[in-house]
Amino acid sequence: MADKPAPLPEVSALFDLSGRVALITGGGGLLGIKHAEAIAEAGGIPVLADIDAPRAEAACVFLRESLKAEAMAVRIDITDPRQVEAAVKDIDSRYGRVDILINNAAMTVKGGGSRYQKYFAPFEEYPVELWEEALRVNLTGTFLVTQAVGRVMLRRGKGVIVNIASDVGVISPDHRIYEGQSFNTPLAYAVSKAGIISFTRFLATYWAPKIRVNSLSPAGVYDGQDPAFVKRLSRLIPLGRMADRDEYKGAILYLASDASSFMTGANLIVDGGRTSW
């Protein structure tokens, strides 16, 4: 007969991350910094890993000054196995642990200059090199970081992993909303995010009961996009608007904390109801 579960602490204690170390890839980005805020506000120690070192360090300065939080910045290309191993080793040496991993980094392009000018090209003309680069960042990068951090977690016999997927990993993007826009959701992005959800389920069952692995699928975040695009997308969302960048902090805290202690292998969709139509 299975052991009877131990009684849980009070609700406030369930969300307490005091002293827990959280590695956040893409930590200097639009949502990465918000994930870090959620960790810091709950007492945790966010480690912001980003290929853009100045951006990660600036985010850490913000956390230290605004929240009086301990924070660490790490420059890392998540597609480079040596860099990943070295970064995780440095974090482990400094703190002796990694309690939480938030796989947030993904290939995103704004403006599509020079090298990425065809990132938003029609599928029929899509360059295979951009397809492969997106999969390398979004999937292989997540694989490499999770593998390295997983070893550290297994050594201690526990850990929590949150993989950032997307609503377009569950449903297809509505291509009509991009009419007249210079951007869209490329196939590689949608496919890789669907892969993240499968990756989550596999590892949840593989590493249970020691490491819990869940994914979060957010919808579009308002970031000053063209009003026509915002209007079209908002019509697809029952709540009638895009998300504010702060609105995923609660979900991140829930998934990263003991509040979700009986949850693994799940994909938490926070999309204003879009996938409910």
Q: Taking the domains of the chain in order of start, what are their residue ranges? A: 11-271
For 257-275, what is the mean pLDDT?
A: 98
Report how far residue 29's alpha carbon sits from residue 109's, in angstroms, rounded to the nearest whole number.
12
Percent of the chain with pLDDT over 70: 97
- Could you give the count of Cα atoms lying within 13 Å of 244 in the half-sphere of its Cβ? 4
Higher pLDDT, 6 or 236: 236
Q: Return the pLDDT at 2.
A: 59
Higher pLDDT, 60 or 113: 60
Q: Return the pLDDT at 220.
A: 95
The Cα-based distances of 58 to 63, 76, 107 in angstroms read 9, 15, 20
Which of 95, 119, 189, 254 is labelled catalytic?
189
Distance of CA 164 to the CA centre of its chain: 3
Task: Using the predicted structure, report yes or no on whether residue 68 has a pLDDT greater than 90.
Answer: yes
Residue 262 φ then ψ, to 5°? -105, 30
Q: Return the pLDDT at 114.
A: 62
Tokens linked to 246: 């702060």
Sign for the pseudo-dihedral over CA of 105, 53, 37, 231: negative
CATH superfamily, region 11-271:
NAD(P)-binding Rossmann-like Domain (3.40.50.720)
Report how far residue 104's alpha carbon sits from residue 138's, in angstroms, rounded to the nearest whole number.
9
Least confident of 39-48, 105-114, 213-222: 105-114
User: Which secondary structure element, helix H or strand E, spans residue 201, and what is its range?
Assistant: helix 187-207
Can 189 be counted among the known catalytic residues?
yes
Report how far residue 97's alpha carbon sits from residue 231's, in angstroms, rounded to the nearest whole number.
45
Rounded to two decimals, what is the model's pTM?
Answer: 0.95
For 206-221, what is the mean pLDDT?
A: 98
SS percent in the chain: helix, strand, coil, step 5: 45, 15, 40
Start-to-end CA distance of the chain, whole Å, equals 42
Taking only the tens place, the pLDDT of each residue in 17-56 is 999 999 999 999 999 999 999 999 999 999 999 999 999 9
